[in-house]
Chains A and B, each alone.
Chain A
Amino acid sequence: METSQYLGIFIDESNENLQTINDGLLDLEKDPTNMEHIEVIFRAAHTLKGMSATMGYEELTTLTHQMEDVLDLVRNNQLPASTNLLDMLLHAVEKLEEMVGDISSGGDGKGVIQPILDQLKAIEKGEDVSDDSVASNQDVTSKELTLDSFEETVINQAKAEGLHTYHLTIQLADDCLLKAARVYMVFEILEKEGEIIKSVPSVEVLENEEFDQQFDVAYVTSIEQKEITDKIMKVSEIKQVSIQPIGNQKQTERTENIGINQEPTKLDSTTKEAQENSGSKRKQAANKTIRVNINRLDALMNLFEELVIDRGRLEQIADEMEHNDLTETVGRMTRISSDLQSIILNMRMVPIEQVFNRFPRMVRQLTRELQKEIQLDIEGAETELDRTVIDEIGDPLVHLIRNSLDHGIETPDVREKMGKNRQGHVLLKAYHSGNHVYIEISDDGQGINREKVLNKAIENQVVTPEQANQLSNRKIDELILASGFSTADEISDISGRGVGLDVVKNTIESLGGTIEIISEEGKGTTFTIQLPLTLSIISVMLSTIGNETYAVPLSTIIETALIKPEEIVTVQGQQMMHFRESVIPLIFLRDVLEVPDSANESAYESVIIVRKGEQVAGLVVDSLIGQQEVVLKNLGNYLTNIFAISGATILGDGEVALIIDTHSLIK
């Protein structure tokens, strides 16, 4: 089957299903007796298996299948949802994610699944012994088919649709050599005409020929009993096929068998179903969506950018012509295109949930590796961010969370001694404010040990001892973001991997964001990341230097000022100005940017005061033009790494203006 056209959908849905399984497993861990979680996981696993099989990804299918088998046992209370089991399942999910990831990056989705497969099988078998002994007692007579509520639902549905449901007991010839092959052939015949709901033993076991001569199948089909028998008997080495309709009597029988135990579960399952129904209704109402290829959205965005440029040009022409009707029309167009802009931007927004989702599992795993007790809380997962930002922000967050777990939170014993709760808390929080999105990672750990940081910084020659004495607490905290910094005494494989938090800082700054640290020794540390909502249309302050126009992103500007030359003071050869009780350095852009013919003729200097984190500096320009929304364009692949320039934009008159990278100007 030609499946490539479904690949995109397959990958998206697989990821969704994996996420559901993942969340379900974590919920299950917190609440191991709640069968609802198991049902959710089971359903997702089942869908995933079905899809993988259709797409022909064998390894994916095999592994999900094995997971399903294990989950089935848990569901039937034959296996407790122990931590060990959950570990194994989470491990399997990880493996599956890896494989799906491989597929999405163009690979074939093959992975080494044998070890995890074996582990799962071992778990399954460990509890399976009793099952086997039952089987051997039953000779040729058909084995009891225990159906779970899900399978029952399927059967009831099938009946409602007028399909036949049968319980097939198939016995192979005693001297059958290729048992697995025969089973496969039987299954193939059956699947042509209907759907196999369950097989006992499981398909996995059958394929490995780990059964005697007989197996049972619950089957839904539209064809008659006789026909099935005939078809199956055509496969050689089949000794006998017995078929019984699956009747209501079976269900009652089962309820009786299990007795009182079943009662509460039954109740549970009905209420659950009710919940589910209302849940799915709600979901449908909220989620009337279509999937759109991101490339189309990008194309839309590009076209819109063109429109914004032309809009700018029109505005300018209208201003020059002073034609009333034209001005009015342009004004209307401007308003409409602003609305359009916000809609397009919104379309590209995705909830940060996508990124946050992977953290609970990561934290859980690290917590165990580090032998700490840590609770991760997530707030604001529904906060939306531009797709491009989402794609980039994952790794820095992983890094920061690892950092909090490894260096921030103390071991339970230490915490107890300090009079804290044994369990540490890490809070991951996202929220909107103005044109920015903030992400906070705070822990209630030991905070930054400033003495240690300073020593390390001096040792690694990040600062000189003289400088060290002058640093404010905040500056010291920020040292941990400097290149080549790791304060853990031993290099652990959690976060001390040679790359420091400077990587995080660089990534965030390259996204046009900032990162700040607030730490209190003994009480904890908070990292605050500020990110722009979108990367492609930004507000800038336009200014002229000589005959050239430059744009400074509004997000970095605190305010603008006019100062008299005599207000400029020189400190150690550096020109500075007073700004709100402190003295800030002045950067003369005409010198930095080597602008020809720039001279200030007025009695004042125009200064744009910008900040980078806590650092503030004044950019001196010739004059300020005003604020404008512009489309950010890059300079192409020929010009890379241009000092102090982060990109360009096209102004209303068609002229190209360069955008100043204030971050690289402030050191």
Chain B
Amino acid sequence: MSKVSKEVKVIVFRLQNEEYGVPIDYVGSIERMLEITRIPNTPKFIKGVINLRGIVTPVIDLRERFGMETSEYSNRSRMIIVHIDDKEVGMIVDEANDVVDLSEDDIETPPEVIGSVDTDYVRGVAKLEHRLLILLNLDRVLSNEEVNQLSAVEK
């Protein structure tokens, strides 16, 4: 652990009853639910594509991505548009309403079992006063491999 702890700003969002975070650097915008065009023959968690100000952007349902139980979208549901490498993807979450500052020191490696998400997708956990924040490893969450593998299986 470095002595000078780096501060990171994290967007906090909710899935079921757990709180998750992604570094703000990856986040392009947070959108209300937009009309989604379904794409056939893709894994279930890929909801389709949206028209994000003229750019066709794919969206995934994070609940389904992590194998959680699905729920109807409400007026609190949001799409968090994230950029990673040269990919741009919208992630549908139950709610997104907070930004917190974390220092790198607050982030711990995830224990074996944490919440409902496969630890593969977790970069670390951060303990805030009364809250536990699960930081996602976007690289893994948005890897193309699974998209292609799954679409191959479905064919």
Contacts and interface: CB of A to CB of B under 8 A. Distances in A.
Given A656-B51, A656-B56, A642 B38 contact: no
A87 interface: no
Interface string A638-661: 111111110010100011111000
B57 A636 contact: yes
B42 interface: yes
User: Interface size for chain A: under 10, 10 to 19, 20 to 34, or 35 or more residues?
Assistant: 20 to 34
Given A305-B54, A636-B88, A641-B148, 11 more contacts: A594-B41, A637-B85, A637-B86, A639-B42, A639-B49, A639-B147, A643-B40, A645-B39, A645-B40, A648-B56, A654-B51
Interface of A: 305-306, 309, 548, 592-595, 633-645, 648, 650, 654-658
B41 A658 contact: no
Contacts of B85: 637
A593 B51 contact: no
Nearest to B55: A633
Interface in B115-155: 142, 144, 147-148, 151, 155
Nearest to B35: A655
B58 interface: yes
Given A648-B49, A650-B51, A656-B49, A638 B87 contact: yes
Given A636-B56, A637-B86, A644 B40 contact: yes
Given A638-B58, A655-B51, A644 B41 contact: yes
B46 interface: yes
6 contacts: A594-B41, A636-B56, A636-B88, A639-B46, A654-B35, A658-B49
A548 B38 contact: yes
Given A638-B87, A639-B46, A640-B144, A658 B54 contact: no
Which of B39, B87, B155 lies at the interface centre, i.e. has the most chain A CB atoms within 10 A of its CB? B39
Nearest to A305: B54
A620 to B, nearest CB: 15
B37 A548 contact: yes
Which of B40, B55, B142, B151 lies at the interface centre, i.e. has the most chain A CB atoms within 10 A of its CB? B40
B37 A638 contact: no
B54 A650 contact: yes
Interface of B: 35, 37-42, 46, 48-51, 54-58, 85-89, 142, 144, 147-148, 151, 155
A638 B144 contact: yes
Given A306-B54, A648-B49, A654-B51, A638 B42 contact: no
B149 to A, nearest CB: 11
Contacts of A595: 40
Contacts of A645: 39-41
A313 to B, nearest CB: 11
B41 A643 contact: yes
A485 B26 CA distance: 47
A213 to B, nearest CB: 64
A648 B52 CA distance: 13
Given A640-B148, A641-B148, A593 B54 contact: no
Contact of B88 (A305, A638, A642, A648): A638
Contacts of A658: 37, 39-40, 49
A19 B39 CA distance: 47
B56 A634 contact: yes
Nearest to A657: B37
A661 to B, nearest CB: 11
A621 to B, nearest CB: 13
B144 A633 contact: no
B39 to A, nearest CB: 6
A494 B66 CA distance: 52
Nearest to B148: A641
Closest 4 CB pairs of A and B: A593-B40, A656-B37, A633-B56, A638-B87
B40 A636 contact: no
Contacts of A636: 56-58, 87-89
A548 B87 CA distance: 26
A650 B142 contact: no
A306 B55 CA distance: 9
A607 B41 CA distance: 22
Contacts of A306: 54
A654 B144 CA distance: 27
B51 A642 contact: no
B123 to A, nearest CB: 19
A240 B5 CA distance: 74
Contact of A309 (B40, B42, B54, B87): B54
Contacts of A656: 37, 48-51, 56
Given A648-B49, A656-B49, A656-B50, A639 B58 contact: yes
Contacts of A634: 56
A594 to B, nearest CB: 5
Contacts of B89: 636, 638
Contacts of B56: 633-636, 648, 650, 656
B142 A638 contact: yes
A648 B54 CA distance: 11
A594 B39 contact: no
Contacts of A650: 51, 54, 56
Contacts of B50: 656
Nearest to A651: B51
Contacts of A657: 37
Contacts of A309: 54
Contacts of A592: 40
Which of A309, A636, A654 lies at the interface centre, i.e. has the most chain B CB atoms within 10 A of its CB? A636
Contacts of B155: 643
Contacts of B46: 639
Contacts of B54: 305-306, 309, 650
Contacts of A642: 39-42, 151
Contact of A655 (B37, B40, B58): B37
B51 A635 contact: no
B64 to A, nearest CB: 15
Given A636-B88, A650-B51, A656-B51, A593 B35 contact: no
B35 to A, nearest CB: 6
Contacts of B87: 636-638
B40 A648 contact: no
Contacts of B37: 548, 648, 655-658
Nearest to A589: B40
B142 A643 contact: no
Contacts of A638: 58, 87-89, 142, 144, 147
B83 to A, nearest CB: 11
Which of A309, A637, A641 lies at the interface centre, i.e. has the most chain B CB atoms within 10 A of its CB? A637
A643 B155 CA distance: 8
Contacts of B48: 656
A336 B91 CA distance: 39
A548 B38 CA distance: 8
B44 to A, nearest CB: 11
A345 B54 CA distance: 20
Contacts of A639: 39, 42, 46, 49, 58, 147
A637 B39 CA distance: 15
A305 B54 CA distance: 9
A314 B85 CA distance: 35
A639 B143 CA distance: 10
